Amino acid sequence: MKSMVLTDAEGRVLFCSAVRPGSCADITQARQLGLAQLLADGPFMEILADAGYQGMGAQTGGRVVTPPHRKFKKNAPAWYEERHEQQRKAHSSRRIRVEHGIAHLKNWRALARHLGRREHMSDIVQAIAGLLSHQQTATRGQALRA
């Protein structure tokens, strides 16, 4: 089962889509949800995505940033391997808060140990995303008052 999650720069959950079968590619799910069209037509914002969204940057005018694509499969020059590793690490360092936000969602017991019917999974994910978003907003409000 797969759900698309959008977080802000701090890792707070902003959006969580309905659950789809896990056999669907990430970029296909984004296209079906209309994310590519929304980003292409909307205001400029940068989305840090994983490798499953490679190719979406061209469709959205550079708004979706993915890890660098390997140009050499075999016999790559030494300088290329080093440069590719640096670019990959730079992207990973910028994206770590997004991964932490997604991890907070996955750590809820109802998702980590789901043994129920698949038909109910979408409702459970949506409910947990709402609770997590509310919890993160409340925590942020307390931090601002302190």
Domain residues of the chain, as ranges? 5-145
Cα(63)–Cα(48) distance, integer angstroms: 9
Specify the 3-state DSSP secondary structure of 87.
Answer: helix
pLDDT at 143 over 60: no
Beta-carbon neighbour count of residue 26 at 10 Å? 16
- Phi first, then psi: what are they for 64, rounded to 5°? -100, 120
Query: What helix, strand, coil percent values describe the chain, rounded to 5?
Result: 55, 10, 35
pLDDT at 6 over 60: yes
Check residue 93 and give its pLDDT. Answer: 92
Overall average pLDDT of the 55-64 stretch: 88
Beta-carbon neighbour count of residue 62 at 10 Å? 11
> pLDDT-derived band of residue 91, with 50, 70 and 90 as boundaries?
very high
**What pTM, to 2 d.p., does this model score?**
0.70
- Amino acid letter, 96: I
Q: With contact defined as beta carbons under 8 Å apart, do 3 and 18 qualify?
A: yes
pLDDT at 146 over 60: no
Check residue 89 and give its pLDDT. Answer: 94
